[in-house]
Amino acid sequence: MSCSILMRGGNRLVPVKKNEVYRIEISGMTHEGQGVGRIENFTVFVDGSIKGEEVEIKIIKVNKSYAVGKLLNILKASPDRAEPICKVFNRCGGCSLQHMSAQAALKFKTDVVIENIRRIGKLKDVVVHDTIGMENPFNYRNKAQYPVGQLKDELVVGFYAKKSHDIVDSPQCMIQHSVSDRAKLIVKRFLEDNKISVYDEETGKGLVRHVMTRRGFNTGELMVVLVLNGKSLPQQNKLVRQLTADIPEIKSIVLNVNTANTNIILGNRNIVVFGEETITDYIGRFKFKISPLSFFQVNPVQTEVLYNKALEYAGLTGEETVFDLYCGIGTISLFLSEKAKKVYGVEVVEEAIRDAKENAKLNGVDNVEFLVGEAEKIIPDMYQKGIRADVVVVDPPRKGCDEVLLDTLVSMSPERIVYVSCNPATLARDLAFLTGKGFQVVEVQPVDMFPWSIHVESCVLITRDEK
Ligand code: SAH
């Protein structure tokens, strides 16, 4: 008898053994995009496999209740399988779904939303539309953050590998704009030629930590930021000359000082060494000024799609008071302001509210008021003072809405709630809460903000249940 089946998991026998090779049928997929199969009813996760496939795997990890297999061979491929376009797909931690066709990746996202709403939300008859994808799901990101490091004798500037801080050097990233890769390459050569040290996470020594680029999608303006474990860069003027000679779109070059031993990429201090402090971009007709630290949605094309959907679901006639909760820099508030009487934007980060106010001014919008604080504190306060909304838009972080906030919304009973969510699981939980208390979910529209990743945004129309 092989020792594998002597291992006990709970009171079950574990039928697989580390380093052994097995054939397995992939019967499902996790929400993280891994294939799942069973060996004698024991769960095995296989990265890179797709539902419906038959694969050969080597077991690389065994736990009490599951094992992890490494994909060795695809014996029967899924019709959804596609050849990854990116050369470093297998190593880079960026895009997880590139082994699928674009259509299959969208279907995967729709299924994740549906499954969460059914399983966690326990809502059976909700209409979930197909995920809205991009016509061209490449080069869509307006922000790149390339870690800089040393790999043996070689300087590397690229992306973190899957679940690690090893850096995968990729000369070309298919979801970034090519101008970002060009800027990155110029910085890399400059660092090599001038023998400038790079930061070592282990020792905390070395100068250059990250190269960041931000690009106005509609204006083409480019900002290049070097994140330094220090306050100055040797030969700084040379780098400025090299970058601006090659890339005329550059409007701003910034040194960002981050001397802390932390995973947070940017420090708080910026030193502008060329051009302006900010670049400009548009979402729809609204103009935004973007600095190295400001929050700005990374896919402006799909952001507009998502916000227009939120605006459509808000069903405004010009008479309504609207709350935009978790408003960030007030982007949704501005979209709503054109069709509402009054919009209140609420956000917990003070700097974001400062940007929001500036953005409103920049766009000549005067019917929006921004408030700093937690939505679950500010909204009950406002409600007590007699300020109520006809329509509420929420766009919370991954953990979803606080129950105190949802309770207040139930009491306030707006005609419509538009829920914008980046996490289908917490969305489903919050929908279950609201549907138990006088609201109904009319429809759900998933939008693909991050093609090839496992993430999916949803926009949901919730109305008062008049039944
Ligand atoms: N609606 C914005 C940003 C959404 S991201 C946009 O589309 O650009 C979620 C935002 O919620 C973040 O800006 C975060 O700072 C904010 N936030 C997190 N917890 C919060 C809370 N309890 N109350 C208010 N805002 C919060």
Could you tell me if residue 319 is left (phi over 0), alpha (psi between -120 and 50 degrees) or otherwise beta? alpha
Question: Choosing from 86, 95, 327, 422, which is the catalytic residue?
Answer: 422
Residues 276-311: tens digit of each pLDDT: 999 999 999 999 999 999 889 999 999 999 999 999
pLDDT at 8 over 80: no
CB-ligand 1 contact for 35 (6 Å cutoff): no
Six-digit token pair at 335?
A: 């979209």
Q: Which helix (H) or strand (E) holds 297?
A: none
pLDDT at 4 over 50: no
Q: Measured in angstroms, how far is the CA atom of residue 347 from the centroid of ligand 1?
A: 6
DSSP 28-73: EE-TTS-EEEEETTEEEEETT--TT-EEEEEEEEE-SSEEEEEEEE
Residues 34-70: tens digit of each pLDDT: 999 999 999 999 999 999 999 999 999 999 999 999 9
pLDDT at 3 over 50: no
The mean-pLDDT minimum among 16-30, 154-168, 326-340, 364-378 falls in 154-168
CB-ligand 1 contact for 311 (6 Å cutoff): no
Region 180-184 average pLDDT: 97
Residues 376-419: tens digit of each pLDDT: 999 999 999 999 999 999 999 999 999 999 999 999 999 999 99
Q: Which helix (H) or strand (E) holds 416?
A: strand 416-421
Cβ count near 345 (within 10 Å): 30
Q: Measured in angstroms, how far is the CA atom of residue 404 from the centroid of ligand 1?
A: 16
In which band, very low, low, confident or very high, does the pLDDT at 229 lie, cut at 50, 70 and 90?
very high
Six-digit token pair at 132?
A: 């809205």
CB-ligand 1 contact for 438 (6 Å cutoff): no
pLDDT at residue 171, rounded to an integer:
81
CB-ligand 1 contact for 96 (6 Å cutoff): no
Known catalytic residue: 422? Answer: yes
171 or 409: whose pLDDT is higher? 409
Q: Which domains does the chain have, with CATH numbers?
A: 8-76 (2.40.50.140), 107-135+299-464 (3.40.50.150), 143-290 (2.40.50.1070)
Q: Measured in angstroms, how far is the CA atom of residue 199 from the centroid of ligand 1?
A: 32
pLDDT at residue 220, rounded to an integer:
97
Could you tell me if residue 386 is left (phi over 0), alpha (psi between -120 and 50 degrees) or otherwise beta? left
In which band, very low, low, confident or very high, does the pLDDT at 12 lie, cut at 50, 70 and 90?
low
Q: Ligand 1 atom 11: the closest Cα is on which residue?
A: 326
CB-ligand 1 contact for 347 (6 Å cutoff): yes
Q: Measured in angstroms, how far is the CA atom of residue 296 from the centroid of ligand 1?
A: 12
Residues 137-157: tens digit of each pLDDT: 999 999 999 999 998 889 999
Residues 266-275: tens digit of each pLDDT: 999 999 999 9
CB-ligand 1 contact for 399 (6 Å cutoff): no
pLDDT at residue 6, rounded to an integer:
45
